[in-house]
Structures are given as structure tokens and as C-alpha cells.
Structure 1
Amino acid sequence: MNLVTPAEHPFAQFVRILGKGKRGARNLTREEAHEAMGMLLDDKVEETQLGAFLMLLRHKEESAEEMAGFAEAVRERLHAPAIQADLDWPSYAGKKRHLPWFLLAAKALANSGVRILLHGGGAHTAGRMYTEQLLEPLQIPLCRSWDEVARTLDRQQLAFIPLGDWMPQLQRMIDLRNILGLRSPIHSLTRILNPLGARCGLQSIFHPGYQAVHREASQLLGDCTVVIKGEGGEIEINPDAISHLYGTANGQNWDEDWPALSPQRHVKPESLDPAHLQRFWRGEVEDDYGQLAVISSMALALRSLGLPREEALKDAQQRWDKRLLSN
């Protein structure tokens, strides 16, 4: 009786590298990560391999080289036209303690002429308020194609495009969160992609010690970026805490500590009302925490574009004060 041993699946090698045990497992090289992500994006893996791969990565935590290799594979498949953008602003975490004040910061910057691409991955975790849910009330344009993004940025300097419209394979991996029980490394990967090659990318990484890894990945990719531990995981300065900025530009790393802007912590609101953001934008209500969060988040963006902190804070305040006079 002739028994033929089935050939090993080509993707099995990458699962084995990550899962061979405490002594045998290792990180993927940048080249291996590039090849593995390419196979994932081209639907050349089995469902069981996809789940195993994502959770093994999550367990060990991905390296800067792995993230750079993954990002390169994604960028090769983007097919985005040449669209000029000043800031890449990923929004994938959602807010649960405070309102998403960063959206008003992005709006005010755009009203003053800064071209900003927002992108996100949908409401994947219960109990959080996501950017996608606030686009209409805050009058932030929703775009479904790169051509629409180009027209919108030319018209009003701010555009949001869902991840599912430009890289549906990654959106599908994010959507596995409720099946696998954990967020996968794709949530981190989306933050470094900078799909339009904007002048600088902003990143918020909540888990301590992981901000430097993200900066290293962006440095390997030759990108300009500023990484913070943003409030709730979004790109928003928490005015009640010291903020450390992990920056890289032109291959050089820099670090800054921004002091807390409030002498004492603000009380967390009992509930999150999106209408409060609209009233605050129009100047109909005051909010001390919101004011500090908006101005400092605008200053963060301006710092990423080259302004020193004190100048960025002054410039942010001036742009905010003129927000209703622009566009």
C-alpha cells in the first residue's frame, strides 16, 4: 500500500517559527514578516492558520522588524494615487472615559489649512464611542474611495476613509476580535501604515513600553512619526497627565516630556454626549478638560510638523480661536 505524505502548507513555516515553544520560537525577520503578511493579504492561508498566527503574535508581542515587514506588504498592495497629506491620523481604539476631543482638534487644524487623513476600523469593541459614529454630527466627510479622499482634501482638508474600503483583508482580521477574544496585532499595524505617505504620522499606543517599538518600526520604514500614550488609545493628549512624545524624522529619534496642563485631575463625566462636542465647537458651552485636550492635541500635531512645543501651543490656540472663521 502506497501512502503519500501530504505536502506541508507553505504558510505553516511561519506558524512554526512563532509557536515552536519557549526555546525554539523566535521573532520573524523583516523579510519573513513581509512574506507572511503578503500571503495573508492574498488569501493564501487557511482559517486555522490565520487565527493561530495572529494569536501567537499577540502572545509574544510583535517586534519592530515584524511590523515594518507587515507594513511593507500592505503598502505594496494599496494602489493609492498620489494624494498630498500633512498628517496621517489613525483612529482605531474608540473612547470610553472621555469624549473624543481629538476630532475637534483635527477639525480645527483642517479649517486652518492642515490636510489630514483620518482612518479607522469600525466599532469592534462594545462600550466605546468610535469616530465612525460621529462623522455625521461633527460634519467630518466620509469617503469610500481614494478618489473621493483626494477631492475632499482639496475642498476641506479633512477626510475619513474606513479601513474596509482600502484594505478589506485587514478589516476582516480586526473583526475576528470577538471570535478570538483578544485584539490582534492588526490593531497596532494599522497605526503605522500611513497609506498616503503623509508628511508625518501620528500614533497612539496605550500599552506601556510599546510606544518605542512603534517608533522603531516607523524609523525602519523611513517615516516621520510621533507616538504617544493617548487618552483611551486615541491620538489625544491627556491634560491631566505627563505625556511622553516618541518622535522620529529623517532617521533621527527624539523624545520630549510634556507636563500635565492641569494642577489636579478632572472628574470623569458620568456619560458621553456627542451633542456636547457640537455645542463646544460652536462656543455655546465651556469645558475645561475639553479645552485643554483640544489645544494640546492640536499642539501635538503641529509639533509633529516641526514646531517647538511652546510655539505649537500658541499656534494651536490661535487656530482654535479662528476655527469658525475658516472654511
Structure 2
Amino acid sequence: MTLASHVRTLGRGPGRSRSLTQSEAHEAMTQMLSGDAAPESIGALLMLLRMKGEVADEIAGFVAAAQDNLPALPSIDLDWSSYAAGRTRGLPWLLLSAKLVAMNGHRVLIHGWNGADPAIRTGLADAEIPLVEYMNDIAPALDAHSIAYAPLEILHPALFHLLGLREKFGLRSCINTVCRMLNPARAAASVQGVFHPPYRELQQDAAAKLGWRNLTIIKGGGGEFERTPSKPVAGFGLREHLMWEQNFAPLITETTRLSDGPASDTTLRGLWDGSTTDMFAQNIVIGTAALALDTLGDGDALNTAHSLWDARRAR
């Protein structure tokens, strides 16, 4: 079956078109990643999905095909996706949160692409998180640091190409959601941020169809997995394969936007090494780490995150 046949399924018109099944979506993504599909068909399929609105079966099929297109990766405990553009947020405090989780003995793989925004890639050096340049660098980085950042263009060049079509379309496509859900090492726990709240349920449902075990999705700062400590946060996802939702109370009483909270002179390195004190930024880091630890099954995640923060410079 050609990609054009899947375009026809989506675009026959009112009363005749329908969504793709999970197996059809898997086949369509396999063709798009192969490099053999006509670019016109790829563009038509992705834009028809955008107009229709993708469903969980389609996302699950696309994700499974994208995973099948990857080589075997070393075992990790926590998958952490980072695909927001960062226009509505400040520094990437989430990097320090991920580092706290790694300090607790969990192997963490961050993967992502953030468009023209350099904040995440620049922040890696300040957070002392290794940025891998080749696939073979992932295992040594994890063995040495328990954490690594794998750029999508290195991790999955074919998927990166599809994501880059956004510049030609002028619109996002469902590939953004597929990237967030890539979970390249097939970890048992994953954390994801979204900018638009409806995607929380979509990704939750797709993960359930894929048989994932533990997942937390939040509407985070700029679309990243990063919580605002002055607001309640609604978590969606899975716990031990079952649908899960939980509301988390604010950590502080002041009402402040994420991008306005930390002082302008607070840096990732300064906050980590203690040369700068910024309680708002500190609560972003601790609160985000707590959500990740909860995903990993820590029954006292917030207290664990506080203890890790207090002990960070002794390690």
C-alpha cells in the first residue's frame, strides 16, 4: 500500500474520509521515514491530519514505527523529552531537575530539538550534562554521569527531517507529538510537557495503546516538562499501565509566572553551586524533579527532591 492510499483514506471528503487505524499509521510512518515516499504525499498526509486532528491510534502507530526505525540503545530508567521552542519561558531549569533525578541513581536520557532557541543546548554546559555527538557516545555518557542529552538530529535523522518540514508548512504537524513520545530507549518511565492542554489526554491515550508503564504529562513552562511552583499542576498519564490523573498543589504562595519568577541575574550554574540564592528558581527545580521521581515510583517524591537538592554539592 502506497502513502497515497493513506492520503486518500484521510481526504476522501465528508462522509467518506476516516482516521487511520494504528496499523495503517504504522505503515504510513514507515514509508515516510524510508526516504522513498513522495514529498507531496508526505505534506498532504501531515496537513490532512492537522486539519482533522490526530487521534490516539494514529499517534501510537507513528510512534511505534519511529521506534522501530531506531537502533538498540542502552537501558535507561527515565525518558525525558524536550521539544518546546522556549519563547514563553526563561532559563531551562528542568536540566537541573533531571540532574537531581540522575543523582538519585536513575539513568536519565533527555532527547530533543528546540528550533532556533538555543537555551536548552546552551544550558547543558552550565548544568554539566553531556551533549552526545554520536550514537556511540550515549552509553559512555550514561555510564559516567547517569544522564545525557541526545539531539534528535543525531538520534533519529529521518524523524528530524520530518519535524523540519514545519518550516515549509508554516504550521506544526503531528510529528511534534511523535517526537515528544519517541521514548527512544523504551524506558519504563517517561515525562513529557505540552503547551496546549488537550494534548495531555491524546498522549496519555496513545501511550496506553502502546502498552507504556509509567508516564507523566503536564502543561509546563513553554511546553517543556517544567512546573510553575506558584500554581497547581494537573498531571496526566499512566501508573503501572493504568490511566492516571492527579492534581498537585502549589509549592509556594506567591503568584508569579514562570518566566517572571527567577531574578534576572540567576543562572543555572550559580543556582546549582550555591553562589546565587533564588527561592523561586529553586522551587521550580525541586518541584519538577519531584514530579519525575513520582513517575519513577517514589512514594515520597517531594521530600526526596528536597533532600537531593540539599545534598547536591556534596556529590
Indicate the TM-score class for this superposition, using the shorter chain for normalisation.
Answer: over 0.9
Taking only the aligned residue pairs, the percentage that are identical comes to: 37
Q: Does 1:250 align with 2:220?
A: no
Superposed, which structure 2 residues align to 1:125-274 within 5 Å?
125=116, 128-223=117-212, 224-266=214-256, 268-269=259-260
Query: How many Å separate the matches in 2 of 1:239 and 1:28?
Result: 39
- Aligned residue identity for 1:244: A
- Aligned residue identity for 2:5: Q
Q: Name the structure where helix makes up a greater proportion of residues.
A: 2
Query: How many Å separate the matches in 1 of 2:218 and 2:262?
Result: 25
Partner of 2:112: 120
With 103-112 and 153-162 compared, the bigger mean Cα shift is at 103-112
Could you tell me whether the CA contact under 8 Å between 1:295 and 1:317 is conserved in 2?
yes
Q: Report the alpha carbon displacement of residue 106 of structure 1 after superposing the two structures with TM.
A: 0.9
- Aligned residue identity for 2:123: L
Query: How many Å separate the matches in 1 of 2:9 and 2:102?
Result: 45
CA deviation map 1:37-77 (0-9, x unaligned): 00001112111111121122122221111111111111212
Scaled by the length of structure 2, what TM-score is found? 0.93
Superposed, which structure 2 residues align to 1:89-128 within 5 Å?
89-96=80-87, 97-121=89-113, 123-125=114-116, 128=117
Q: Secondary structure at the match of 1:67?
A: helix
Query: How many Å separate the matches in 2 of 1:187 and 1:236?
Result: 18
Partner of 1:40: 32
Q: Report the alpha carbon displacement of residue 131 of structure 1 after superposing the two structures with TM.
A: 1.5
Runs of 4 or more consecutive aligned structure 1 residues displaced over 4 Å after TM superposition = 270-275
Query: How many Å separate the matches in 2 of 1:60 and 1:298?
Result: 36
- Aligned residue identity for 2:182: L
Partner of 2:288: 297
Could you tell me whether the CA contact under 8 Å between 1:98 and 1:272 is conserved in 2?
no
Q: Report the alpha carbon displacement of residue 306 of structure 1 after superposing the two structures with TM.
A: 1.0
Query: How many Å separate the matches in 2 of 1:27 and 1:321?
Result: 50
Could you tell me whether the CA contact under 8 Å between 1:226 and 1:247 is conserved in 2?
yes
Could you tell me whether the CA contact under 8 Å between 2:80 and 2:109 is conserved in 1?
yes
Q: Report the alpha carbon displacement of residue 184 of structure 1 after superposing the two structures with TM.
A: 1.5
Could you tell me whether the CA contact under 8 Å between 1:75 and 1:193 is conserved in 2?
yes
Partner of 2:2: 10
CA deviation map 1:239-279 (0-9, x unaligned): 12221111313321121100122323226439996971211
Q: Larger radius of gyration, structure 1 or 2?
A: 1
With 281-290 and 17-26 compared, the bigger mean Cα shift is at 17-26
Could you tell me whether the CA contact under 8 Å between 1:99 and 1:273 is conserved in 2?
no
Q: Secondary structure at the match of 1:316?
A: helix
Could you tell me whether the CA contact under 8 Å between 1:145 and 1:165 is conserved in 2?
yes
Query: How many Å separate the matches in 2 of 1:27 and 1:272?
Result: 47
Q: Does 1:31 align with 2:23?
A: yes
Could you tell me whether the CA contact under 8 Å between 1:247 and 1:255 is conserved in 2?
yes
With 37-46 and 21-30 compared, the bigger mean Cα shift is at 21-30
Query: How many Å separate the matches in 2 of 1:90 and 1:306?
Result: 19
Query: How many Å separate the matches in 2 of 1:273 and 1:79?
Result: 42
- Aligned residue identity for 2:297: G
RMSD: 2.0
Could you tell me whether the CA contact under 8 Å between 1:90 and 1:120 is conserved in 2?
yes
Q: Secondary structure at the match of 1:99?
A: coil
Query: How many Å separate the matches in 2 of 1:270 and 1:153?
Result: 32
How many residues are paired up?
Answer: 312
CA 87–273 in structure 1, closer or farther in 2 if over 3 Å, else same:
farther
Could you tell me whether the CA contact under 8 Å between 2:6 and 2:28 is conserved in 1?
yes
